[in-house]
Every structure is written in C-alpha cells, then in structure tokens.
Amino acid sequence: MGRISNYRRKLKDAAARQILMKSIGKNDSNMKNARENCVETTDATTNVLLKGKKVKKSSVKRKSVVLTRQQQAILNIKEKQKEEKRHRVQKAIDNHTENRKKAKESSKRRREINEKINLKIKNKKLEEKNNELNELLEHSTEPATTETSSSSSEPFIIREEEVMGFKGSIISPKLNAEASTKLKNIIGLSNRKYELLSKQDGINIASISTVKRIESKIFDTYYKNSNGPDFYGLLEAAVNKHDFSNLPYIRITICGDKVKKLICIHTFVGDESREMLEAAMAKIDDDILKLLENGIPTKSGIKKLIFTYVGDCKYLCTSLGLQGGSATCACVNCTAKRSDWITLKREDIVLRTIESIVSNAFEVVNNNSLPRSNSSVKNYPLLRNVPISNFVPPPVHILITMANSIIEFIRKFADDSNPLEEFLKATGVRLHYPAQSYEGNQCRKIMNQFRDDNGKRILYKGFGSNLFEAASQIESFAVARTLTDDEINGLESSIHLFFNLMKNYGDAVVKFFCNKNKIHTLQHHVVPFVRVFKSWGLFSEESGESIHHVRNELDRRVPGIGQKYDEKRNNHFKKTQAVGFHLS
C-alpha cells in the first residue's frame, strides 16, 4: 500500500482532535485553540502543496533534459549519415569525371586510328580514280590537227597556232562531254562539287550544263514514261549496249527490294506492300508476257528471253499473294507445312505453281475460305508469267541466316560460349542494328575464316566449329559464274554434310535450325534450281541489297519534305542509275 501524504495525515489528525474535544466537552476556548490548530494545519498543508509543485517542476525539467539529449543524438546520427552520403556522392562524381576523361581519351585514340584507316582508304581510292582518269584522258585525246572539232561530243583538238600561244606552258587536254559525264559518274560527284572541280586551274572538263544535258538525254532514253514502269523500253535500250550474236537466248533476272550494272525498272516511296506494288507489277507482268511471246530485237536479230525472279522472303510472298514467312505454309516454293519441315523428305514435297496459287486465291477471295486451309495463300499473285521454278532461292539471305543461326545455336546450347565471343571479336565483325544480327559482308567475313586457302584466317575450334566449316563450303559455291556438274554435286554434298552434322547435336538442335524458312529452302530447293540454271551466285540479290547505300547517299543531295521532294529524289536516283548503267 502506498505512503500517506503529510497533508492527508495532518487532516486526519485535526479531525481526530475535533472529535476528541467534543467527546470530553471542553469549553469554547479549547475549541478556539483547536480551530487555531486547524488553521496551522491548513497552513502547513499549503506549504506542503507548494513544495509538491516545486518537485513536479523539477521532474519536468529533468525529463526535458533527457529528451533534448536523445534528440541531439538523433541529430548527430542524421548529420553523420548526411556526411557519409555527401562523401559517397562526391566520390561518384569524381569517378564519373574520371571515366568521362578516360572515355574521351579512348574516343580520341579511336578517332585517330579511324582517321588513319580512312586516309589510307581514301588514298587508295584516289589512286584508283587517278588511274581511271588517266585512262579517260588517253581515250579522249587525239593528236593535234589543223581542223577544229565540229561536234561538242568529240575530243577537244588543239591547232598549231594555239600551241604557240601557250609559250611553252603545260597543255591540259579537255575531256569531251561524254567523257566528262563518265568522270562525274565514276567519282560520284554532285552537281555542285563537279562545278567547283571544273573551275579549278588546270582542269579542262565540260561545263555542268553540258553534263546535265547529256544525263537528261540518257535518262530520256531509258525512262520515256517516268510516271510508270516501262519494262519493255528499258530492256530494249539495255540490250542494245551488248552483242548477243553468240548466245541462243538472253537471261533477265528481276530483283525486288526496298530502296554498278543495274537498271532500275521502277521506284516508289512507301511500304513494301501489295497496294504499292500492284499497279507497277501489273504493267511489268504484261511486258514479260509480250517479251516471252515475241522475243526482243537486238543487233543480231530477235532473241528469246528467260526470266528469273529473286528477292527477300517478304517481297517474294507479296508478289505471289502468300501470307508471309511466319505462316503455316511459309515456303515460296512448296506447300509443306512448317510443322512437317523437320521430317520432310524430298519425294513428299508438293511444289507450288502459279495455277495452284490462283486456285487457292479464288477459294479465299471469292468463297471466303481461310488462307490456312489453302496453303497460306491470301490473294491472287501479282506476277503470273514467271513460273515459280524460276524463283531464285536468295543466296545472300540464306547465307546470312546460316551464319547467324550457327552463332545463335552456339550461344544457346554450348556450355561456354566465351571462345565464340573471342573469335567474333578477333575477326572484327560488327552487328547490324536494329536487327542485332550480322549482315552479308560480316557473315562473309566469318565464313572466310574457315577456308583452307585463307593463310591469315583466325582459328576457331570450339563448340559448333564443324557447322561453320560446312556452311563455309556451301558459301564457296555461291559464285557469280556457271558451275560444272562436279561443282553442283559438291554443293549438294556440302548441304547434306551440314544437315548430317546438325543431327549429331540432337533433336532439339535439328528443330532449332529446320524451323527457319531459309534453312528449309537450303535443304530442299537450292540444288534443284542450280541443276536447272547451272549457277546460284549469278542470280544473287546482292546487287539489289547494295543499292540501299547508293539510294541513301543520293537522297541526301535532294533535301526537303513532302511528295514533291520524294518525286525529285526518285527521279534523281533513277537518272543516276541510268547514267551509270549506260556508261558502264
């Protein structure tokens, strides 16, 4: 039980005395004294209460002191944390500054190395172009005579009195109009740069206006109707450049792609869609039928034509009215389902024909049938006069798929892919963005490391190297010449070797490879085509692929936004290609 306070004790004592006084019957004086005692007790109680208040205040002060110390400790901890954070931030800033400094130094070294390499390349190209220019000068100059040239397209001829007028100075012969046009095209000069070159001392070439006139004349020869494709007219102008007297027929390869010796049938701005291709392809298809029936006139008489057709998977599927490379029946050449590609045998293959595609398209378009149940045909073919047997298995795209698939396979199935990464780094190949894969030239560089005749090759003997070696053998037959029967048999053996080696890695690897469209085409459709046409590389789509860079470079010379400028860029590109083809 708790202790009784003095105040309460004294109150009890006073009350007890009052009761006692009443009980013994004391007089009033005694009562007065008792009251005085009560007053004294009350005063004492008041004093005790005041003392209690003082004690309470002191305890509050002690508590506030304790709280202040705790807060100060918390503040000290927070201040310490802030100081540590400032230290970390400052350290990170210092590290970032140091890294940026190192990156700048590294970038500067790379730029210096690249500048040296580019300088060597430019010097080499300049040397080659100087040799070409010297050849042009030799062909365009003639001995001095007393008669002047009557034609602007003939070489400049210097009279004897003009020679005397130079008083011993060096004579720089002048290129005629056609030679100047050829020079501009070989070097790839824009009109402005050519004009600057013509104003240099010692450079005697035709004026830019004369060159433009020659270019327009050549352009009009090839593109009589610039609004649409004039396939017949283009071929007629092209075949007149050559002598076909010793050949029984002329073989024409039509290549299609977005965006040397290449004549452009038609160009347009837009997506590679059926709607954009339909009108142009209808005109080309009519001209093909006309040429197949009547042949084409040449310097050595009428010649028959054989047409082949090449392009990437999307372009070929669009031309034939197929769904595309990811459909159930994705192959351009046959109707085999993708799920059957792994176990498919050559004798079980049902080849596509234009007639079968038209029949399937009728069911889909006219009878609302599903493309999936009609060999993945979704519309009528845009090109009906080139048989599908003349559709080229695209060499470049197939080889790109082979190389990238082997790299992907090693990264996926190998226990350690570091040897592959070191090999790729050593070869110096670069990824193509945004596809994150290696394009044609880089794949060719990789394949070249597995050639026995390459004395400077970088060796790779890690996981999957035998697939690289087999793929390299296949790539060696994709050359731009006619193959012998033994070489065609060698191509077939190399393809069989590639797929037999693949099977040694297990069913999962076979499924990984054979599920790809280009690998299926390589396995079942390359050799039959090569046996008929005696070549694979002669029909390559590489020329169409290389035109991407040419188109991009030429487009930069015609800046502007809108349909008007798109047409200008198209015409400039076609004119440049026509001039280059004509002068080649």
Residue 359 has pLDDT above 90, yes or no: yes
Q: Model confidence at 546, in pLDDT bands (50, 70, 90)? A: low
Report whether 256 contacts 544 (CB < 8 A).
yes
- At 22-74, the pLDDT tens digits run 666 545 555 455 455 544 444 444 454 444 444 445 555 555 556 677 778 88
Calculate the dihedral angle through the C-alpha atoms of 73, 78, 81, 83, rounding to the nearest 10 degrees. -100
Q: What is the mean pLDDT of residues 171-179?
A: 69
Residue 360 has pLDDT above 50, yes or no: yes
Give the pLDDT of residue 423: 92
Give the pLDDT of residue 126: 72
Residue 123 has pLDDT above 70, yes or no: yes
Q: How far is CA 10 from the centre of its chain?
A: 103
Distance, CA of 136 to CA of 130 (rounded, Å): 10
- At 466-485, the pLDDT tens digits run 999 999 999 999 988 899 99
Q: Model confidence at 226, in pLDDT bands (50, 70, 90)? A: low
Give the pLDDT of residue 49: 44
* Total Cβ atoms within 10 A of residue 250: 19
Report whether 262 contacts 548 (CB < 8 A).
no
Element (DSSP H or E) covering residue 298: strand 296-298
Distance, CA of 476 to CA of 497 (rounded, Å): 14
- More confidently predicted of 258 and 136: 136
Residue 105 has pLDDT above 70, yes or no: yes
pTM: 0.60
Q: What is the mean pLDDT of residues 125-146?
A: 62
Q: Model confidence at 340, in pLDDT bands (50, 70, 90)? A: very high
- At 416-434, the pLDDT tens digits run 889 999 999 999 888 877 7
Does residue 309 sit in helix, strand or coil? strand
Report whether 496 contacts 400 (CB < 8 A).
no
Lowest mean pLDDT among 320-329, 358-367, 548-557: 548-557
Most confident of 90-99, 101-110, 125-134, 347-356: 347-356
Calculate the dihedral angle through the C-alpha atoms of 432, 437, 442, 446, rounding to the nearest 10 degrees. 160
Give the pLDDT of residue 57: 52
Number of H-type helices and E-type strands within the chain: 20, 3
Share of the chain above pLDDT 90, in %: 25
Secondary structure percentages of the chain, helix, strand, coil, to 5: 60, 5, 35
Tokens for 380, please give them: 């009528």
Residue 92 has pLDDT above 90, yes or no: no
Report whether 377 contacts 331 (CB < 8 A).
no
Which residue type is seen at 272? E
Give the pLDDT of residue 569: 76
Give the pLDDT of residue 409: 93
* Interaxial angle between packed helices 563-583 and 177-187, expressed in degrees from 0 to 180 and rounded to the nearest 10: 110
Q: What is the mean pLDDT of the chain?
A: 77
Q: What is the mean pLDDT of residues 78-101?
A: 87
Residue 402 has pLDDT above 90, yes or no: yes
Q: What is the mean pLDDT of residues 299-303?
A: 85
Residue 355 has pLDDT above 90, yes or no: yes
Report whether 182 contacts 215 (CB < 8 A).
no
Report whether 488 contacts 506 (CB < 8 A).
no
Lowest mean pLDDT among 84-98, 132-146, 478-492: 132-146
Share of the chain above pLDDT 70, in %: 73
Report whether 402 contacts 471 (CB < 8 A).
yes
Q: Model confidence at 380, in pLDDT bands (50, 70, 90)? A: very high
**Cα distances (Å, whole numbers) of residue 315 to 332, 393, 423:** 11, 13, 34
Tokens for 507, please give them: 């069913």
Q: How far is CA 469 from the centre of its chain?
A: 27
- At 476-535, the pLDDT tens digits run 999 888 999 999 999 999 999 999 999 999 999 999 999 999 999 999 999 999 999 999
Distance, CA of 414 to CA of 159 (rounded, Å): 78
Q: What is the mean pLDDT of residues 180-190?
A: 77
Q: Model confidence at 154, in pLDDT bands (50, 70, 90)? A: very low
Query: What order of strands is seen across the sheet that includes strand 296-298?
Result: 249-256, 301-311, 296-298
Give the pLDDT of residue 584: 64
Whether omega before 297 lies within 30 degrees of 0, making that bond cis, reads no
Give the pLDDT of residue 51: 47
- At 246-264, the pLDDT tens digits run 888 888 887 765 444 455 5
Give the pLDDT of residue 411: 92
